[in-house]
Each structure stands twice: as structure tokens, then as C-alpha cells.
């Protein structure tokens, strides 16, 4: 399932502008863009990213 940037940002716990910055920095790239240029992210990828982030946070505490 493909989701918009706002939903992706919520899953990651950041703002949409942070998601855009991460794209510029090539940290997290959208799966594709619509004809209108809107970013779409794979929900499964974002959930995987979030789980990985939580694991890293737990290792550092």
C-alpha cells in the first residue's frame, strides 16, 4: 500500500518537512511520485524503518 507524506511522517514521528529534508539527504526516498509530483511511500517500508529505529533506540539506552 502506498501512503502520502503526512502519513509517513506520522509513522516516523517527524514532520513532513523533515521527510522532505531526508529525501534531499537521500536517507529515506519515496517509492514513487504521482504525475502531479506528490511523494508516495510504501507503508511496509515505513513500518520496517520505524521498527528498526526503535531497535536502535533500545540499544542506545
3-state DSSP assignment of residue 35: coil
Higher pLDDT: 20 or 58? It is: 20
Higher pLDDT: 54 or 23? It is: 23
Share of the chain above pLDDT 70, in %: 79
Instruction: Give tens-digit pLDDT for 15-33.
Output: 999 999 999 999 999 999 9
CA angle 31, 32, 35 (to 5 degrees): 165
Is the model's pLDDT at 47 over the cut of 90? no
**Residue 42 sits in which domain range?**
2-59
pLDDT band at 48 (very low <50, low <70, confident <90, very high): confident
The CATH number that applies at residue 8 is 1.10.1660.10
Whether the full predicted model's pTM is greater than 0.75, yes or no, is no
Helix ranges, 1-61 (H): 5-12, 16-24, 43-59
Structural domains counted in the chain? 1
Amino acid at each position: 500500500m502506498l501512503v502520502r507524506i503526512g502519513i509517513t511522517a506520522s509513522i516516523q514521528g517527524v514532520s513532513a518537512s523533515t521527510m522532505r529534508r531526508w529525501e534531499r539527504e537521500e536517507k529515506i526516498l519515496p517509492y514513487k511520485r504521482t504525475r502531479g509530483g506528490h511523494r508516495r511511500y510504501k507503508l511496509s517500508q515505513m513500518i520496517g524503518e520505524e521498527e528498526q529505529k526503535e531497535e536502535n533506540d533500545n540499544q542506545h539506552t
